[in-house]
């Protein structure tokens, strides 16, 4: 058993608490990882808020991490002690019907136990002050050591800087893949990206790499425009600058609508606007943002009858074990940006400040 520091969420709506936790050794087909760096994501904040119906407490949150394998359980063959890895919240077992289908990346092998905050055998590897602590998204990267299923880990280039590539565990991969894999953006096309946070910037990067000729960034926070343009946005607009609905503004700006739109916020009203900003006949809108539980999307069916397509994406459509190492290689060879997504680097015990920075749009 390893004793180490972790940021524990004891209950919903309260700040994280830095505690000493015990991390049990990995069982069969499990891997214990020394986490070197982790990022914060809105999904962590959503669960911490108490709005997540799958949220269980007390829990160690975090799902954008990178580290070194400390030890492996029985039967683990893909990684060994000392390997550099990224934990994966969407695993890839290679055996379930989802993994065998090239149309999806949504491996279901451990979905039920992962959603309940436990390891595949139904138990937790974390304890603190004598209490069992739940796992989160199968990763729990807000701990100096964590235990994950062996299908939830990608071995990456040992030379990669872990304080950067941890971001490939969720946000960057999600946005980039939404453009490349889900939308399959074509050269010369016009794109609209709603929400210019980390995921939105990654979508912009993907659209640019795919050869889009016009990329319109949309956000009410104008402080984000300069960064969006750095990533490839050709122009940025705010819905608050016009009396007309934003979809009408975009349809006018683009002679009938955009070829591709992306919703990167998780707001069902914006999802509708993103679809309706698409061009009749061929426009495609991808939902990337995760809306709160129980919310529903709506539009007039005529929008779809007249040739628009509505799609969703999770983790950018990447088959995780196969593709995360390739994304790290693309970063190392400077095909994709990662460093530019890092705005602040804080010591682990300032993790609550990181959440404050995120909520304030900084």
Q: Do 79 and 218 fall into the same domain? A: no
Are the C-beta atoms of 238 and 219 separated by less than 8 Å?
yes
Q: Give dist(CA 10, CA 29) in Å, integer.
A: 28
Same domain for 297 and 234: yes
Domain that includes residue 243, residue range? 174-314
Query: How confident is the model at residue 361, as a pLDDT?
Result: 85
13 plus 149 within the same structural domain: yes
Nearest of 49, 73, 71, 69 to residue 59 by alpha carbon: 49
The CATH number of whichever domain residue 153 belongs to comes to 3.90.180.10
76 Cβ neighbours under 8 A, 6+ residues apart: 26, 29, 30, 31, 150
pTM listed for this prediction: 0.96
Identify whether residues 126 and 155 lie together within a single domain: yes
**DSSP of 40-87, one letter per residue?**
--HHHHHHHHT--TT--SSEE---EEEEEEEEE-TT--S--TT-EEEE
Interatomic CA distance for residues 131 and 127, integer angstroms: 5
Are residues 80 and 31 both part of a single domain?
yes
- Helix, strand, coil: what percent of the chain each, to 5? 35, 25, 45
Q: How far apart are CA 293 and CA 110, in angstroms?
A: 21
Return the axis-axis angle of helices 42-49 and 351-359, rounded to nearest 10°: 100
- Mark whether 292 and 197 lie in a shared domain: yes
- 178 and 29 in a single domain? The answer is no
Identify the segments of the chain with pLDDT beneath 50.
none
Q: Report the CATH number that the domain containing residue 259 is assigned in CATH.
A: 3.40.50.720
Rounding to the nearest 10 degrees, give the CA dihedral for residues 303, 308, 313, 318. Answer: 180
Cα separation, 42 vs 221, in Å, equals 17
Whole-angstrom CA distances from 4 to 125, 294, 346, 355 are 13, 37, 18, 22
Q: Give 219-230 pLDDT, tens digit per residue.
A: 999 999 999 999
Strands 64-72, 30-39: pairing kind: antiparallel
- pLDDT digit string (tens) for 98-129? 999 999 999 999 999 999 999 999 999 999 99
Question: What was the pLDDT predicted at 53?
Answer: 84
pLDDT of residue 80: 98
Contact call for residues 263 and 285 (beta carbons, < 8 A): yes
Asked if 354 and 334 sit in the same domain, the reply is yes
- Total domain count, the chain: 2
């Amino acid at each position: 058993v390893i004793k180490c520091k972790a940021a524990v969420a004891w209950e919903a709506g309260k700040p994280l608490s830095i505690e000493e936790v015990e991390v049990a050794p990995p069982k069969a087909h499990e891997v214990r990882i020394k986490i070197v760096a982790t990022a914060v994501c809105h999904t962590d904040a959503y669960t911490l808020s108490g709005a997540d119906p799958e949220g269980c407490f007390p829990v160690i949150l975090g799902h954008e991490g990178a580290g070194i394998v400390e030890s492996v359980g029985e039967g683990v063959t893909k990684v060994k002690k000392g390997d550099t890895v990224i934990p994966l919240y969407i695993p890839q077992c290679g055996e379930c019907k989802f993994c065998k289908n090239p149309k999806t990346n949504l491996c279901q092998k451990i979905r039920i136990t992962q959603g309940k905050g436990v390891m595949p055998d139904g138990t937790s590897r974390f304890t603190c002050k004598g209490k069992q602590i739940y796992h989160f998204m199968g990763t729990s990267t807000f701990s100096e050591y964590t235990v994950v299923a062996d299908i939830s880990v990608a071995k990456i280039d040992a030379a990669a800087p872990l304080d950067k590539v941890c971001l490939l565990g969720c946000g960057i991969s999600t946005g980039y893949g939404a453009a490349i894999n889900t939308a399959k953006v074509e050269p010369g096309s016009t794109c609209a990206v709603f929400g210019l946070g980390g995921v939105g910037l990654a979508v912009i990067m993907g659209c640019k790499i795919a050869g889009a000729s016009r990329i319109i960034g949309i956000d009410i926070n104008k402080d984000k425009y300069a960064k969006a343009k750095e990533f490839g946005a050709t122009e940025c607009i705010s819905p608050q600058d016009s009396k007309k609905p934003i979809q009408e503004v975009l349809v006018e700006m683009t002679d009938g609508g955009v070829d591709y739109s992306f919703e990167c916020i998780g707001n069902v009203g914006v999802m509708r606007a993103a679809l309706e900003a698409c061009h009749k006949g061929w426009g495609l809108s991808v939902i990337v943002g995760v809306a709160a539980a129980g919310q529903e999307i709506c539009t007039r069916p005529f929008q779809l009858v007249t040739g628009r397509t509505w799609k969703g994406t999770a983790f950018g459509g990447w088959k995780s074990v196969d593709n995360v190492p390739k994304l790290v290689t693309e970063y190392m060879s400077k095909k994709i940006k990662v460093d530019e997504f890092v705005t602040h680097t804080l010591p682990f015990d300032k993790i609550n400040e990181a959440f404050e920075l995120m909520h304030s749009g900084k």
